[in-house]
Structure 1
Amino acid sequence: MRILHVLSANFFAGSVAYAVALAEAHRHQGHQVWLASDAANLPTAATVVQLPISQRKYRQRWHNIQALRQLIKTHAIDVVHAHSRAASWVSYFAVCGLPVPLVSTVHGRQHLHTSTSLFDVYGDKVIAICENLAEHLRTEVKMTPSKLAVVPNGIAFAALGAQPQEEAAEVSRLAFIGRFNGPKGEQAAALCVHVFPPLLREHTDLRVALIGGELDYLPAAGKAALGALQTEFGERIEVVGFTDDVPGWLAKTDLVIGAGRVVMEALGAGRAALALGEACYAGRVTEANYAAAAASNFGDILAQQGTQAIDWQVILQDAREFWQQPSRVAPALQQRVRADYDLPTIAARILGVYESARMKKAVPSFIPVLMYHKIPDAPLASKHQIFVTKENFAKHLAYFQRQKFTPITFRDYQEFASGRRSLAEFPRRPIILTFDDGYVDNYTNLLPLMQQAGYRGILYLLGDFGVRYNYWDVEADPTEPRADIMDAAQKQAFVAAGWEIGAHTMHHPKLPELSPMESAAEIQQSKTALEQALGTEIISFAYPYGALTEPIKAQVEQAGFSYAVATDTGGMHLEDDRMQIFRVNMFPHETTSSLFKKTAPWYRRYYRWKRGK
C-alpha cells in the first residue's frame, strides 16, 4: 500500500513520535510511505516532504492543499493519514474528488464549537487513541459511531528490552517524563513544590530526573521551585530535558511519573508508573486499575469536558508507599501492556482501518451477504425452516445470474481491500453467499449447482470433525429431523473447488452463555483446527445462532479473524463493523420479489426501519 502521513511537526510531540513509528513499522512491512510535515528531518527512512502544515493562514493552507494533492496524484497514494486537526483540514480538501480515503488519528479532545460538529474534516475513518476519546467524539463532537475505531499508540518494545539495566543498584531514581510547557509544565512545577522536596528529604539516596522538555518552557513558579531543589539537593536533581534515549533512562529509573506513551513505555519496560496527565491523576497503574487508566490514555483524556482536580498529597502518598517497598511491575501486567501496545500489532490494525476506509469509499453501497444452511432434495418437517430445497436453490442461482450478480468471498474482498487486486476489477454487483454447518446435502446438492453456475461461496464449518449431525437442534427438540454433517473428504472437496472456509466454533454453542475462557477457546480452537485439517487460511467467522456481545466480538478479533458474520444485525455497510456483518436469512419459499428485495442496495436500511435493528 502507498501511504501518506500528514502531520504538524513544529515540535516533536507524542503525535509526531506515533506517526513516525507507524511509518517505520509499515515501511518494514513492505509498504511505501511518505510524510508531509513542518519538519524536514524526522527519524525515519521514509520520504519526508516539508510543508508548513501547522500554519493556519488561509493562503498557506491553500498552498498546502495544492502541494498535497499533487503529491497524492504523482505517487498514486492509496490512503492519506492525518495526525492533527490542522493536518486533517488540509488533507480533507486535498483528497476532495479523488478516490483516495482520508483517515485521521485524533490524539486529544477537540475544541467544542459549531464548526467541529457541522464541518467534519476528519475524513472517512477516525482513529481514537483511547476509549475516553472515542466517547468524547461520539457524544460531544457528535461523530458517526461507525466511522470510529479505537486503536492506541504503538510502542516498539523490542528497543526497550534491549536496554541494559543500571549497574549502580544503590541509586534510586524517580523520573518525571513529559513536556515542560502547557498543562504538563504546570504539573512539573507543582511536583517540584509539593512532591519532590519531602521525598528527597526522606530518602537520601533518591535522585529526581526531569526529562522531555526545554527548561525555558517551565512556568516561573516551577523554575523557582527547581532552583530551590538544586540548591538544597545538588546533583541529586537531574535536569535532562529533551532526549532521544528515553529507553536508557527507563532502564535506570525505579518510578516514573507521566502520561500517555510515557506510561506505556514504562510499564512495558517493567517500571512502576504514576499516571499523571493533563486531565486527571489515574494513580499508580496496577492490574486492578489498568483498564480504567488505559481508557484515559493514562491521565490525559476524560470522556466528558473538564478536568479533575489533582490532590498532590495523594501523589506524594502513592510515591511514599512505593518506596516503602520498591518493586518492578507485575509480570502479568507488563505482558499485557506489551500485547496491547505492541507496534507491529498496532500497525496491522491500522492497516485494517486503511483497508476499511478504502473499501467504504470505493464500494459505498450495501453488499448483500446471504445465509443458507441445508439444501435438501425435498422440504423438511422442521420448525426452524433453515433450508432451501435443491430445486428452489437452482432458481436462486438463475435469478442471481439474470441480475448480473458476481459472487465473491471475504478472501476475494480482502484481496481488493489490501491492494493486491486493483479496485478497477471489483465487480459492479457483488454478492456473498454463505452456508452454515456443513451438511452432507451441501456436498451432494449445493456444490454441483454452484459449480455449474461458475460460483464460489463461503462454507462455515465446526472445528470438531467428530460432530457428524446437528445435535444442537435435535437435543433441544427431539422432533427436529436429524441432518448429517460432511466428513473430512467431502469438506476438502469445497477447498479444492476454490471455496472459502470459515469457522463456526468447535461445537456450535451460544457463545454469550459460556464463560469468557470457554468462548475464547471455542473461537480460537475452531480457527486452528480448520486450518490444520483443511490446509487453508481461515479469515472469517460466523456466530452460531447470530448470538454475540461486544466482548465476544473482541475475542473473535483477537483470535485473528478479519471478518465475522452475524444474523440480521450489523451495520448499514460491511465496513461499519467487520466483526458484525449483517447477513440476510434465506427461507424455503423465497420468491422473485423477495430475492429482489433481499439483494437490493436499500434492503439493510429498510430492514433496520422495519425491525428497529
Structure 2
Amino acid sequence: MRILHVLSAEFFAGSVAYAVSLAEAHRAQGHAVWLVADSDQLPTGATQVQAPIGNRRYGQRLRNARLIRQLIQTEHIDVVHAHSRAASWVSYVALRGLKVPLVSTVHGRQHLHASTSLFDIYGDTVIAICGNLREHLITEVKMAPAKIVEIPNGITFQNEEFASAVADVAGTNNSSGEPLRLAFIGRFNGGKGERAAALLQQVFPTLLREFTALRLALIGGELEHLPAAGKAALAQVQAEFGERIEVVGFTKDVVGWLARTSLVIGAGRVAIEALGAGRAVLALGESSYAGLVTEATFATAAASNFGDISARQSPSEVDFATLLADARAFLLAPQPVAAALCQRVRARYSLATVAARVLETYQAARMRKAVPNFIPVLMYHKIPDAPLATKHQIYVTKENFEKHLAYFKQHKLTPITFVDYLQFASGERPLTDFPPRPIILTFDDGYTDNYTNLLPLMQQYGYRGVLYLLGDFDVRYNRWDADFDPSEPRSEIMDAAQKRAFVAAGWEIGAHTMSHPRLTTLPLPEAAAEIQRSKTALEAALQTQLVSFAYPYGDLNEDVKEAVRAAGFAFGVATDTGGLHLEDDRMQVFRVNMFPNETAGSLFKKTATWYRKYYRWKRKK
C-alpha cells in the first residue's frame, strides 16, 4: 500500500513514536510510506515532508491541507493516517472529494466542545488506543461505535532471553550488581509534569529516607518545563540525597535503564515497555493511579492506558498516600513481574501484531469507501445428483445449482474469493478492476459430489469459489451427522487427490477445523488447537495458503474469534450472524444460506446488496 502519516511532531511524544514505529514496520513489509510533520528529521527511512501541522491558525491549516492534497494526488496515496486532532483536521480538508480514506488514531481524551461533535473530522475509521478512550469517544464525543476500532500502541520489545534475564534480577538487583532503584519515566511537562512534581513532594523523600540504599532515576524529556513546585522539591532531594538522585532527562537508552531498575512509575508506553521487560510498574498517569500492575489488575489498568485516560470526564485526583504505601510494600519485598503477565503484555502490544491490525484497518477503510454495499457471501454444502432424504436442508441438486450459475451469469454477478478481495484491499490489484456486482460462493465440508458435480459446472461457467475443508483427511464422511442420527444419510467426503483438483483449478481453500466440532463447547486451548492444526495441515497437504476459516455450525464467540485471528486467518465466516458489511468484522462474516428449492425471486433477494439489512430487520440477527 501507499501510506501517508500526518502528525504534529513539535516534540518526540508517544504519538510520534507510535507513527514512526508503524512507518518502519510497514516499510519493512514492502509498503511505501510518507510522513508529513512539523519536523522532517524523525528517525525513519520513510519519505518526510516538513509542514507546521501543529500550527492551528486557519491560514496555515489551509496551506497544510493544500500541500497534503497535492502529495496524495501526486504519489497516488491509498490511505491517510492522522495522529492528532490538528492532523485530522487538515487531512479531512485535504481529502474532500477524493476517494482516499482517512484513518485517525486518537491517543487521548478529546476536548468536549460543540465542534468536536458537530464536525466529524476524524475520517472514515478511528483507532482508539485503549478501552476507556473508546468509551469516551462513544459516550461523550458521540462518535458512531461502528467506526471505532480498539488497537493499542505497538512496542518493539527486546527478545525473550532479555526479558527472562531482567525478570531474574528484578527482585533485588543483587545478582546484577545494581542497587535498588526506583524510576519515574515520562514527560516532565503538562499533566505528567504535575504528577512528577507531586511525587517529588509527597512520595520520593519519604522512600529515600526509609530505604537508605534506594536510588531515584528521573527519566524523560521536557525537564525544564517541570512545574515550579517540582523544581523546588527536586532541588531539595538533590541537596539531601546527593548522588542517589539520578537526573537522566531525555535518553534513547530507556531499555538500558529498565534493566537497572526494580520499580517503575509511569503510564502509557512507559508502563508497557517496563512490563514487557519484566519490570514492576506502579501505573500513574494524567488521569488516575491504577496501582501495581499484576495479572489480576492488568485488564483494568490497560483499559486506562495505565492511568493516562479516563472513560468519563472526572476530577483527576490521586491519593499519593496510597501510592506511597504501594511503593513501600514493593520495596520491602521486591518481586519480578510474573512470566505470564510479561508474555501477555508482549503478545498484546507487540509492534508486529499491532502493525498487522493497523494494516487491516487501512484495508478495511479503503474497501468501505470503494465498495460501500453488502457483498453476498453464499453458503452451499452438498451438490448431489438428486434430492436427499435429510432433515438438514444443506444441499442443492446439480440441476438446480446449474440454474443458480445461469442466474449469476445472466445478472452479471461476478464470483470472487477472499484471496481476490484481499488483493484489492491491499492494493496488489487496482480497485478499478473490482467487479461492480461481486459475490463470494462458499462450499463447506468437501463432499465427493463437489468434485463430481460442482467443480465441472463451475469450470463450465468460468467461476471459482471457496472450499472449506477439514484438516484431518482421514475423515471420509459426515460422521458429525450420520454417527449421531440413524436417519441421516451418509455423505462421502473427497480424497486428497480430488481436493487437490480444486487447488489446480484456482479455487481458494479455507479451513473448517480438524474434526467439525462445536468450537464453543470445547475448552479454549482445545478449540484453538482445532483451528490452528487445520490451517497447518491443509497448507502442508495442498500446498496453498489459507486466509479464511469457516466456523462449523456457525458456532462462535469472542474467544473463538480471537483464536481464529491468532491462527493467522484474515477472515472468519459464520452462517447467519455478522455485520452489514464484510468489513464490520472480518472474524464474523455473514453468509447467506442456500436451500434446495431456491427460485429466481429468492436468488434475486439473496444476491441483492440490501439483503443483509433485510435479514437483520426480519430475523433480528
Q: TM-score range by the shorter chain?
A: over 0.9
Report the Cα distance in structure 1 between the residues aligned to 2:230 and 2:366, rounded to whole angstroms.
48
Q: Which runs of no fewer than 5 residues in structure 2 stay unpaired? A: 167-172
* Equivalent in the alignment of 1:179: 187
* Equivalent in the alignment of 1:273: 281
Per the TM alignment, residue 168 of structure 1 is displaced from its structure 2 partner at its CA by 6.3
Report the Cα distance in structure 2 between the residues aligned to 1:298 and 1:583, rounded to whole angstroms.
39
Equivalent residues of 1:170, 1:205 under 8 A apart = no
- The within-5 A match list for 1:162-201 is 169-201=177-209
* Equivalent in the alignment of 1:501: 509
- Decide which of 546, 552, 575 is 1:538's aligned counterpart: 546
Structure 1's consecutive aligned runs of 4 or more residues displaced over 6 angstroms after TM superposition are 159-168
* Equivalent in the alignment of 2:170: none
Shifted more, 478-487 versus 592-601: the winner is 478-487
- Decide which of 207, 210, 214 is 1:206's aligned counterpart: 214
- Decide which of 344, 354, 370 is 1:346's aligned counterpart: 354
Equivalent residues of 2:503, 2:544 under 8 A apart = yes
Report the Cα distance in structure 1 between the residues aligned to 2:524 and 2:341, rounded to whole angstroms.
19
Confirm whether residue 94 of structure 1 aligns to residue 94 of structure 2: yes
Per the TM alignment, residue 542 of structure 1 is displaced from its structure 2 partner at its CA by 0.7
Deviations 1:56-106 (A, max 9, x none): 221111111101000111111111100011111110111121121111111
Specify the SS of the correspondent of 2:248: strand
Equivalent residues of 1:79, 1:102 under 8 A apart = yes
Counterpart AA for 1:221: A
Shifted more, 374-383 versus 467-476: the winner is 467-476
Specify the SS of the correspondent of 1:460: strand
Per the TM alignment, residue 136 of structure 1 is displaced from its structure 2 partner at its CA by 2.1
Confirm whether residue 560 of structure 1 aligns to residue 568 of structure 2: yes
Equivalent residues of 2:378, 2:442 under 8 A apart = yes
* Equivalent in the alignment of 1:612: 620
* Equivalent in the alignment of 2:590: 582
- The within-5 A match list for 1:368-447 is 368-447=376-455
* Equivalent in the alignment of 1:48: 48
Report the Cα distance in structure 2 between the residues aligned to 1:160 and 1:246, rounded to whole angstroms.
17
Shifted more, 439-448 versus 157-166: the winner is 157-166
Specify the SS of the correspondent of 1:238: strand
CA RMSD of aligned residues (A): 1.8
Equivalent residues of 1:189, 1:223 under 8 A apart = yes
Per the TM alignment, residue 405 of structure 1 is displaced from its structure 2 partner at its CA by 1.2
TM-score of the pair, normalised by structure 1: 0.97
Specify the SS of the correspondent of 1:358: helix
Per the TM alignment, residue 138 of structure 1 is displaced from its structure 2 partner at its CA by 2.6
Per the TM alignment, residue 330 of structure 1 is displaced from its structure 2 partner at its CA by 2.1
* Equivalent in the alignment of 1:154: 154
Report the Cα distance in structure 1 between the residues aligned to 2:367 and 2:132, rounded to whole angstroms.
27
Report the Cα distance in structure 1 between the residues aligned to 2:611 and 2:398, rounded to whole angstroms.
25
Residues paired across the two proteins, number:
613
Quick one: structure 1 residues 139 and 549, their matched pair in 2 at CA, closer, same or farther if it must change by over 3 Å? farther
Equivalent residues of 1:540, 1:561 under 8 A apart = yes
Per the TM alignment, residue 169 of structure 1 is displaced from its structure 2 partner at its CA by 1.8
* Equivalent in the alignment of 1:361: 369
Confirm whether residue 222 of structure 1 aligns to residue 230 of structure 2: yes
* Equivalent in the alignment of 2:7: 7
Report the Cα distance in structure 2 between the residues aligned to 1:518 and 1:160, rounded to whole angstroms.
26
Shifted more, 205-214 versus 384-393: the winner is 205-214
* Equivalent in the alignment of 2:488: 480
Report the Cα distance in structure 1 between the residues aligned to 2:143 and 2:101, rounded to whole angstroms.
17
Per the TM alignment, residue 146 of structure 1 is displaced from its structure 2 partner at its CA by 2.5
* Equivalent in the alignment of 1:551: 559
Specify the SS of the correspondent of 2:158: helix
Quick one: structure 1 residues 330 and 421, their matched pair in 2 at CA, closer, same or farther if it must change by over 3 Å? same
Per the TM alignment, residue 161 of structure 1 is displaced from its structure 2 partner at its CA by 7.3
Shifted more, 342-351 versus 98-107: the winner is 342-351
Equivalent residues of 1:79, 1:100 under 8 A apart = yes
Specify the SS of the correspondent of 1:34: strand
Per the TM alignment, residue 308 of structure 1 is displaced from its structure 2 partner at its CA by 5.3
Equivalent residues of 1:160, 1:247 under 8 A apart = no
- The within-5 A match list for 1:438-457 is 438-457=446-465
Counterpart AA for 1:303: A
Shifted more, 145-154 versus 455-464: the winner is 145-154
Shifted more, 544-553 versus 130-139: the winner is 130-139
Per the TM alignment, residue 437 of structure 1 is displaced from its structure 2 partner at its CA by 0.8
Quick one: structure 1 residues 474 and 40, their matched pair in 2 at CA, closer, same or farther if it must change by over 3 Å? same
Counterpart AA for 2:352: P
Report the Cα distance in structure 1 between the residues aligned to 2:96 and 2:524, rounded to whole angstroms.
45
Quick one: structure 1 residues 186 and 396, their matched pair in 2 at CA, closer, same or farther if it must change by over 3 Å? same
Shifted more, 491-500 versus 314-323: the winner is 314-323
Report the Cα distance in structure 2 between the residues aligned to 1:162 and 1:542, rounded to whole angstroms.
39
Q: Which runs of no fewer than 5 residues in structure 1 stay unpaired? A: none
* Equivalent in the alignment of 2:61: 61
Report the Cα distance in structure 2 between the residues aligned to 1:9 and 1:161, rounded to whole angstroms.
34
Equivalent residues of 1:159, 1:247 under 8 A apart = no
Shifted more, 255-264 versus 163-172: the winner is 163-172
Per the TM alignment, residue 159 of structure 1 is displaced from its structure 2 partner at its CA by 8.2
Equivalent residues of 1:161, 1:269 under 8 A apart = no
- Decide which of 308, 313, 321 is 1:305's aligned counterpart: 313
Report the Cα distance in structure 2 between the residues aligned to 1:63 and 1:160, rounded to whole angstroms.
47
Specify the SS of the correspondent of 1:479: coil
Report the Cα distance in structure 2 between the residues aligned to 1:415 and 1:482, rounded to whole angstroms.
38
Deviations 1:257-283 (A, max 9, x none): 000110111112221111111122111
Shifted more, 595-604 versus 333-342: the winner is 333-342
Report the Cα distance in structure 2 between the residues aligned to 1:356 and 1:104, rounded to whole angstroms.
13
* Equivalent in the alignment of 1:571: 579
Shifted more, 302-311 versus 456-465: the winner is 302-311
Per the TM alignment, residue 137 of structure 1 is displaced from its structure 2 partner at its CA by 2.0
Counterpart AA for 1:112: L
Q: Percentage identity across aligned positions?
A: 71
Deviations 1:277-311 (A, max 9, x none): 11221111122222222122111122222255322
Report the Cα distance in structure 1 between the residues aligned to 2:264 and 2:117, rounded to whole angstroms.
37
* Equivalent in the alignment of 1:242: 250
Counterpart AA for 2:14: G
Per the TM alignment, residue 460 of structure 1 is displaced from its structure 2 partner at its CA by 0.6
Equivalent residues of 1:407, 1:431 under 8 A apart = yes
Counterpart AA for 1:413: Y
Equivalent residues of 2:578, 2:589 under 8 A apart = yes
Equivalent residues of 2:178, 2:260 under 8 A apart = no
Per the TM alignment, residue 160 of structure 1 is displaced from its structure 2 partner at its CA by 10
Report the Cα distance in structure 2 between the residues aligned to 1:459 and 1:144, rounded to whole angstroms.
36
Per the TM alignment, residue 142 of structure 1 is displaced from its structure 2 partner at its CA by 2.7
Counterpart AA for 1:67: L
Equivalent residues of 1:151, 1:346 under 8 A apart = yes
Specify the SS of the correspondent of 1:175: strand
Report the Cα distance in structure 2 between the residues aligned to 1:525 and 1:168, rounded to whole angstroms.
42
Specify the SS of the correspondent of 2:499: helix
* Equivalent in the alignment of 1:24: 24
